[in-house]
């Protein structure tokens, strides 16, 4: 079996037992990347230092030193997460030459655990999008059908894992950006509780909503990555104390609630698959029931108000003076220079900045932003009440199947509506995971599981139980 | 809620983003559609609901002390006498 097919756990075990070297493994992966990238386009940048890093891991093992639980494991990092010495573009012209002088905390922690950064994964510009079509570096294509979108905004992350160009990846999720592409690419992707993982070094888009999240081909790989990166960080004051350790366990008797509203406006083929997933969980000893979450009706309006408002303030900092693309300040007046330089933001980023400026305008603040924050409270209270009688809530991750590239690009509202099931977890700050549920006409469907704040172990238990029973396996032919 | 071209042009100016005529045309129509959707919030029974807020207290924050990066944190080639060159103020 080629080494690039191995999961994170298998790689670390193989490297540590010297069954194969980290260098051989990385070499095979680089060959794999060269072969499939023309089709998939999951990467913005390949890390030229990956082989050298692998050699240092091999040396550590030869010298009998500790190489870490992820020894030699290749990970891709979404290109909005800072990597020291490797450019971090956010798939934007505004940061095309930005080389961070520091690593994000999550990158430091992965490397401390022995992981190797293989490259920087493509995304929608500044993580704004659901398809990875809004990237300056071209669209990433779905490895299961390259005429279709991989989801987004962490489309490069999910596609690189599905296409076996790395064992795992880090994405970021403000409204479903890890779970949507995980669902469309048939891999596992998790959005942890707000505050579980440091955002230090994650380029901010909607900072009250977003979290870094792990993506892997199995629940087990997601657990390994989560264990490496989770826990408090003094550089991010929104992180919460402690260093949790998650395990893989099959837990029986979980109380599962299927959210009726998640199924109602869903593609019937997807809905059918989710009902089948509920049967599977029931067959595994879960107590399943149908339940209702009324505030779903307002979730998307609340999300897009808050996300665009935060985007407009977070992106105000890009003036192209201290770093950016090559545009001489000579001959420009201050304001006209900024307006000219900032017109280089892409289509969706500009649309969100202006929409965000609109909802924050004087006179509209109370009508939109304040109400959106109230809606968020209401949603969270309703969820908290539901979690008294349910351990996990389930539904489809995406209400539709992966669609054709270009199909929704000219209709922003239609594009936003596909996020309806994922934004809930971000608004409430709660953890959610997408696991492969099966295929409809060869296209992946993801099952979303959600739990109360800091109940990551519960959703991992449920996801693992489902994964073992459903046995959705396989990799795309590329 | 009606969104006008003049409003979008003004918002573009406030956000310091130069918009072409075609962009202005397109964004006005699209943002009007988006804002109409956001108006769903009007239908919510929110009178008694408090907006969501952070649990963290300011006292929990670490001291705000400057720290230096190793090497060059700046990515521009437009420099003079150890300073970054920007556009003129007026």
- Domain membership flag for residue B69: no
The residues, any chain, with a CB within 8 Å of residue A431's CB and separated by 6 or more, are: A190, A191, A192, A193, A196, A425, A450, A451, A453, A454, A455, A456, A459
pLDDT at A146: 98
What is the C-alpha to C-alpha distance for residues A379 and A399, in angstroms, rounded to an integer?
20
Task: Report yes or no: A214 and A81 within 8 Å, Cβ to Cβ.
Answer: no
Spans of chain A, pLDDT less than 50: none
Which residues on B lie below 8 Å from A333 (Cβ)? 87-90
User: Catalytic site residue A84?
Assistant: no
CATH topology of domain A1-478: Amidase signature (AS) enzymes (3.90.1300)
Q: What share of chain A is helix, strand, coil (3-state, %, to 5)?
A: 40, 15, 45
pLDDT for A222 equals 98
Query: For residue B53, is it within any domain?
Result: no
- Is residue A135 among the annotated active site residues? no
Tell me the C-alpha to C-alpha distance, in Å, between residue A332 and each of A315, A325, A327, A335, A338: 21, 16, 10, 8, 9
Task: Quickly count: other Cβ atoms within 10 Å of residue B13's Cβ.
Answer: 14
Per-residue CA distances from A186 to A143, A182, A357, A438, A446 (Å): 10, 6, 36, 8, 7
The pLDDT of residue A163: 98
d(CA A76, CA A150): 16
User: What is the SS3 assignment for A440?
Assistant: strand
Running DSSP on this structure, what letter comes out for residue A129? Answer: -
Tokens standing for A73?
């494991």
Ranges of beta strands (E only) in chain B are 79-80, 83-84
Q: Are strands A116-121 and A43-46 parallel, antiparallel or unpaired?
A: antiparallel
| Contact check, Cβ <8 Å, B41/A301 | yes
Distance from CA of B81 to the nearest CA of A (A): 15
Using the beta-carbon criterion (under 8 Å), do A304 and B43 form an inter-chain contact?
no
**Amino acid B1: pLDDT:** 64
Residue A298, C-beta contacts closer than 8 angstroms, at least 6 positions apart: A375, A378, A379, B40, B41, B43, B44
Q: Calculate the average pLDDT of chain A.
A: 96
How many structural domains is chain B composed of? 1
- B36 is a domain residue: yes
In a domain, B81, yes or no: no
DSSP bridge pairs for B52: none
pLDDT digit string, tens, across residues B17-40:
999 999 999 999 999 999 999 999
The span from the CA of A439 to the CA of A419, in Å, is: 20
Q: Residues in chain A, how many? A: 478
| CATH assignment at residue B9 | 1.10.20.60
- Report residue A369 as tokens: 């932003």
DSSP annotation of A213 reads: E
Q: Within a domain: residue B84?
A: no
In this predicted structure, the answer to whether residue B2 has a pLDDT above a threshold of 90 is no
Collapse the DSSP code of A157 into the 3-class scheme (helix H, G, I; strand E, B; otherwise coil) and give the result: helix
Report the half-sphere exposure of A221 (CA within 13 A, side-chain side).
28
Catalytic residue of the set A21, A76, A92, A153 = A153
CA dist A267 and A400 (Å) reads: 5
Q: Is the pLDDT of residue B61 over 70?
A: yes
Predicted TM-score of the model (pTM): 0.97
Q: How many CB pairs under 8 A join A and B?
A: 159
- End-to-end alpha carbon distance in chain B: 37
Strand partners, A445: A438
Q: Distance from A369 to chain B by nearest Cα, in Å?
A: 10
Separation between Cα atoms, residue A406 and residue A141, nearest integer Å: 11
Q: What is the value of ipTM here, to two decimals?
A: 0.93
For residue B75, tell me if it sits in a domain: no
Interface touch A237/B19, C-beta < 8 Å: no
What does the pLDDT read at residue A341?
Answer: 97
CB neighbour class for A270 (10 Å; exposed up to 12, middle 13-18, buried from 19): buried
Note down the domain range covering B25. 1-41
A357 assigned to active site: no
Determine the pLDDT at residue B59. 72
Query: Looking at chain A, which residue has its C-alpha nearest residue B33?
Result: A413
Q: How far apart are CA A9 and CA A29, in angstroms?
A: 16
A110 near A104, Cβ under 8 Å? no
Per-domain residue ranges of chain A: 1-478
Nearest to A374 among B49, B62, B72 (CB): B49
Residue with tokens 């979404």: A78
**B33 lies in some domain:** yes
Residue of B nearest to A328 (CA): B78
B35 inside domain? yes
């Amino acid at each position: 079996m080629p080494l690039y097919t191995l999961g994170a756990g298998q790689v670390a075990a193989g490297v540590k037992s010297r069954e194969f070297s980290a260098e051989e493994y990385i070499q095979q992966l680089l060959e794999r990347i060269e072969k499939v990238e023309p089709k998939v386009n999951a990467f913005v940048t390949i890390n030229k230092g990956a082989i050298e890093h692998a050699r240092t891991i091999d040396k550590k093992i030869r010298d009998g030193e500790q190489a870490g639980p992820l020894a030699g494991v290749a990970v891709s990092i979404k290109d909005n997460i800072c990597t020291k010495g490797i450019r971090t573009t956010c798939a934007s012209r505004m940061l095309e030459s930005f080389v961070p002088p520091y690593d994000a905390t999550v990158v430091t922690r992965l490397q401390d655990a022995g992981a190797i950064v293989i490259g920087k994964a493509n995304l929608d510009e500044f993580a704004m999008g659901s398809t990875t079509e809004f990237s300056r570096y071209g669209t990433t294509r779905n490895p299961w059908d390259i005429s279709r979108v991989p989801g987004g905004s962490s489309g490069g992350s999910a596609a690189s894992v599905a296409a076996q160009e790395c064992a795992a990846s880090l994405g970021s999720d403000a409204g479903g950006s890890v779970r949507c592409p995980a669902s469309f690419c048939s891999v596992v992707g998790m959005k942890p509780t707000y505050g579980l993982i440091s955002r230090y070094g994650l380029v901010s888009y909607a900072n009250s909503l977003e979290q870094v999240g792990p993506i892997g081909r199995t629940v087990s790989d997601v657990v390994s990555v989560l264990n490496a990166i989770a826990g408090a960080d003094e550089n991010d004051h929104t992180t919460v104390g402690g260093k949790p350790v998650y395990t893989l366990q099959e837990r029986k008797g979980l109380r599962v609630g299927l959210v009726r509203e998640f199924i109602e406006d869903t593609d019937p083929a997807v809905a059918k698959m989710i009902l089948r997933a509920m049967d599977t969980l029931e067959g595994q000893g879960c107590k399943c029931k149908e339940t209702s979450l009324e505030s779903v009706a307002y979730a998307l309006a609340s999300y897009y108000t808050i996300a665009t408002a935060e985007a407009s303030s977070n992106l105000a900092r890009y003036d192209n003076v201290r770093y950016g693309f090559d545009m001489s300040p000579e001959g420009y007046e201050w304001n006209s220079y900024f307006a000219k330089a900032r017109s280089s933001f892409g289509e969706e980023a500009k649309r969100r900045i202006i929409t965000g400026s609109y909802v924050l305008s004087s006179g509209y603040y109370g009508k939109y932003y304040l109400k959106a924050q109230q809606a968020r409270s209401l949603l969270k209270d309703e969820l908290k009440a539901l979690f008294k009688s349910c351990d996990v809530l389930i539904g489809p991750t995406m209400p539709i199947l992966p669609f054709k590239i270009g199909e929704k690009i000219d209709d922003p509202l239609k594009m936003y509506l596909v996020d309806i099931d994922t934004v809930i977890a971000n608004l409430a700050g709660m953890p959610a995971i997408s696991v492969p549920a099966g295929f409809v006409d060869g296209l992946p469907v993801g099952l979303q599981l959600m739990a109360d704040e800091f109940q990551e172990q519960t959703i991992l238990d449920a996801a693992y139980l489902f994964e073992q029973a459903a046995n959705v396996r396989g990799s795309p032919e590329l | 809620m009606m969104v006008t071209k003049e409003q979008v042009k003004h918002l573009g100016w406030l956000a310091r983003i130069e918009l072409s005529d075609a962009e202005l045309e397109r964004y006005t129509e699209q943002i009007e559609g988006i804002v109409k959707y956001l108006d769903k919030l009007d239908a919510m029974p929110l009178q008694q609901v408090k907006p969501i807020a952070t649990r963290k207290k300011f006292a929990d924050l670490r001291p705000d002390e400057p720290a230096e990066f190793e090497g060059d944190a700046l990515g521009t080639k437009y420099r003079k006498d150890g300073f970054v060159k920007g556009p003129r103020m007026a």
